[in-house]
Amino acid sequence: MIPSAVVRHVGSASSGGSKSEFALFHGYRNRFWVLVKDTPGLLLPLVLPAHLMAASYVALRKPHRPYLGVTLRAYRAALAGLGPVLARRRVVQRTRRRSALEMARMMTWDPRDLLRRRAVIRPLPPTRSAGA
């Protein structure tokens, strides 16, 4: 160990950069899988179409059009690999500690946030203890 050593991280260097086909493919595919796996059933019919519309909007904008092919491949792969994700979803939803309403309150419902890809971070309310 060298205590004075400094490590400088170059983001996404090993995957070819943030606009590499590798990064885009896995980003789109995995984001879809996480949404399907983790979103409560009551929210999924609302959130999934909004997510797909926002992703389509971003993919079709002029600066992103060259990557449209990789985006479509990612969604095809996401659908093809949905079986294990749905199996994992059953476990995640069964052990979820937050209600759909609590999760809805933490989410943004402003389409401008989605279209601008603006992060909206709301604190989680404390969970109720088992004895409460």
Is residue 18 classed as helix, strand or coil in its secondary structure?
A: coil
Give the mean model confidence (pLDDT) for residues 43-55.
90
Q: Which tens digits make up the pLDDT trace of 83-116?
A: 999 999 999 999 998 889 988 888 888 878 876 7
In sequence order, what are the residues at sequence separation of 6 or more whose Cβ sits closer than 8 angstroms to the Cβ of residue 76?
none
- CB 94 within 8 Å of CB 40: no
- pLDDT band, residue 129 (cuts 50/70/90): low
| Rounded CA separation 127/8 (Å) | 38
Residue with tokens 């203890």: 129
| Choice between 56 and 77, residue whose per-residue pLDDT is larger | 77
End-to-end CA distance of the chain: 49
* Range with lowest mean pLDDT among 8-17, 39-48, 78-87: 8-17
pLDDT at 130 over 60: no
Q: Are 33 and 75 in contact (CB under 8 A)?
A: no
On the question of pLDDT at 132 being above 60, the answer is: no
Mean pLDDT of 62-81: 92
